[in-house]
Amino acid sequence: MIVLGLTGSIGMGKSTTAAMFRELGVPVHDSDEAVHRLYAGKAAPLVEAAFPGTVVEGRVDRNRLARCVVGDAAAMKRLESIVHPLVRADAYAFLAHHRAQGAPIAVLDIPLLFETGGEARVDRIVVVSAPADVQRARVMARPGMTEEKFAAILAAQMPDAEKRRRADFVVETGSGMEPARKAVEAIVHSLQRDRRVS
């Protein structure tokens, strides 16, 4: 099974691209969705122990947690040391399941793939990208987004140009859905062909 890492900076269209892989029958593990699940399960008691008062009715309250960690690098590191290993274990279980099912390709959707050393866990990397003005327009249209928040998010992410340089495949989303969909189809066909050849 070929494990494909899917990544891209905020506002680049990564979630839409992940959905395109799913439409082609490729199983996709979504790290953000895994965090949501873990915050209502295994992670909740661990987060509560590290950040008392952040769990309400057995589920991590993201707003309370944000007040504890945003702007505090040490607190953020502590949170990541709890959450990242659980998300990795969830991804490994997902891959094991789909490998046993005989899936030829599986996608790990990891927003901070390069920033967390995730490239070591995948065979190939797809970076979703769009021009900076398109990215800015998409992100600033989100509810509650401010210039300051956007700047802080960008500062925590590897620059798009560097991600593109490290990618095996780039999916451009700035020109609309159809070209992006064609790019995803080409990636899947290319990987299926590679797998047959090897």
Residues whose CB falls within 8 Å of the CB of residue 162, separated by 6 or more in sequence, listed in order: 114
CA distances from 154 to 20, 145, 160 (A): 25, 13, 10
Domain range annotation of the chain: 1-27+105-198, 35-102
Superfamily per CATH, domain 1-27+105-198: P-loop containing nucleotide triphosphate hydrolases (3.40.50.300)
**DSSP calls for 103-171:** -SEEEEE-TTTTTTTGGGG-SEEEEEE--HHHHHHHHHTSTT--HHHHHHHHHHS--HHHHHHH-SEEE
CB-CB contact of 16 with 179 (8 Å): no
List pLDDT tens digits, range 10-26.
999 999 999 999 999 99
List pLDDT tens digits, range 43-94.
999 999 999 999 999 999 998 998 898 778 899 899 999 999 999 999 999 9
